[in-house]
Amino acid sequence: MELAQGGASGVEITDLPARIPGLDACSACVMAKMVHLPHKEGRSRATKYLERVHVGIAGPMHVPSARGRLYLYVAVDDYAHTVYTRPLFFKSEAPEAFKAFRAATENGSGKQLRKVMTDNARELSMGEMRDICERDGIKLHLTVPYHPVSNGVAERTIGVLTTAARAMLHDAGQRWLAENEAAGR
């Protein structure tokens, strides 16, 4: 199947339905927009709320928000897929954002946070964050360095939030300003 006249040839896309239910695009268009193929290896999912939480930081954003924030703290519960965000001025504010997230979720649910999955960002894996986890019996799991897919839940959520914020701002006729605050509110 040739993709375009005078373009790439010899690429075959097989085993695709002609249309994907619920989408207005053909299956070839959907496949072409994929960043990469899904990973084959599975991982176990949490079976209870706050059993495992994925944490990440986005930024620095290209343009500071209206309030001058450059980063976005994101926490995603692995069981309920609830998302908590908080705009940050500096990455060093991540432990404070974690404390606020933890207090809000534990007090609201009556359950305790058990595991935190994060990449090897210093703000999320060392210093105050490590001390909090050790003191309170929270297991801190670090993913493979320089491999964002290892913390895929948090990274994918960050991508969805920033893309949605950009789309909303664009639709509202705004500049790309405040993308992290739009995602965090």
Instruction: Name all domains of the chain by residue range, CATH numbers in brackets.
Output: 1-34 (no CATH), 52-184 (3.30.420.10)
Q: How do residues 10-53 score in pLDDT, each as one tens digit?
A: 656 566 566 656 556 566 666 666 666 655 566 788 999 999 99
Give the pLDDT confidence score for residue 26 in this predicted structure: 65
d(CA 129, CA 84): 17
The confidence band for 84, taking pLDDT boundaries of 50, 70 and 90, is very high
Residue 53 has phi, psi (to 5 degrees) of: -125, 135
Give the pLDDT confidence score for residue 109 in this predicted structure: 95
Confidence (pTM): 0.71
Q: How do residues 127-181 score in pLDDT, each as one tens digit?
A: 999 999 999 999 999 988 777 667 788 988 998 888 887 787 777 766 545 554 5
d(CA 100, CA 87): 12
The DSSP letter of residue 155 is: H
Q: Is the pLDDT of residue 94 over 80?
A: yes
Q: Is the pLDDT of residue 184 over 60?
A: no
Give me the sign of the Cα torsion angle 165, 166, 171, 176: positive
